[in-house]
Amino acid sequence: MLTDTKIKNLETVANNIRESIIEMLVEAGSGHTAGPLGMADIFTILFFDVLKHDPQIPDWPERDRLVLSNGHICPVYYATMAHAGYFPLEELQTLRKFGSRLQGHPHREFMPWLETSSGPLGAGLSQAVGMAIADRMDGGNGVDRFVYCLMSDGELDEGNSWEAIMLAAKEKIHNLIAIVDRNNIQIDGYTEDIMPLDDLAEKWRAFNWHVIEVDGHDFRALSQAFNQAKAIFEKPTVIIAHTIPGKGVKEFERDFHWHGKPPSLDEAKMALHELRTLGGKIQSEHQ
Specify the residue, 108 or 281, whose C-beta has the smaller distance to other proteins: 108
Picking from 76, 90, 72, the residue whose alpha carbon sits closest to that of residue 45 is 76
Query: Which residues, including other chains, have CB under 8 Å from residue 183's CB and lie 6 or more apart?
Result: 34, 35, 38, 152, 153, 242, 243, 244, 245
Smallest distance, Å, CB 212 to other proteins?
23
Asked if 45 contacts 51 with a C-beta cutoff of 8 angstroms, the reply is no
Pick the closer one to other proteins by CB: 142 or 159: 159
* Nearer CB in complex with other proteins: 16/127: 127
Beta pairing class for 210-215 and 237-242? parallel
Output 7 or 114, the one with its CB closest to other proteins: 114
Instruction: Go through 234-265 and write b for each residue having 16 or more CB atoms within 10 A of its CB, e for each that does not.
Output: ebbbbbbbbbbbbbbbeebebebebbeebbee
Nearer to other proteins, 122 or 248 (CB): 122
Nearest CB to other proteins, comparing residues 119 and 224: 119
- How far apart are CB 70 and other proteins at their closest, in Å? 13
Residues found near other proteins in the complex (CB under 8 A): 65, 67, 107-109, 115-120, 122-123, 126-135, 137-138, 159-160, 163-164, 166-167, 171
CB of 121 to other proteins, least distance (A): 10
Q: Which residues sit opposite 242 in a β-bridge?
A: 182, 215
**Residue 36: how many CB atoms within 10 A of its CB?**
29
Q: How far is the CB of 220 from other proteins (least distance, A)?
A: 32
Query: CB of 177: closest distance to other proteins in angstroms?
Result: 14
Return the beta strands (E) in the chain as ranges. Answer: 65-68, 147-152, 176-182, 185-186, 189-190, 210-215, 237-242
CB of 277 to other proteins, least distance (A): 40
The two beta strands, 65-68 and 147-152, are parallel
Nearer to other proteins, 132 or 238 (CB): 132
Our measurement of the distance from residue 97's CA atom to the centroid of its chain's CA atoms, rounded to an integer in Å, reads: 22
DSSP assignment of 83-109 equals HHTSS-GGGGGGTTSTT-SS-SS--TT
Contact call for residues 243 and 182 (beta carbons, < 8 A): yes
Q: Minimum CB separation from other proteins for residue 286, in Å?
A: 40
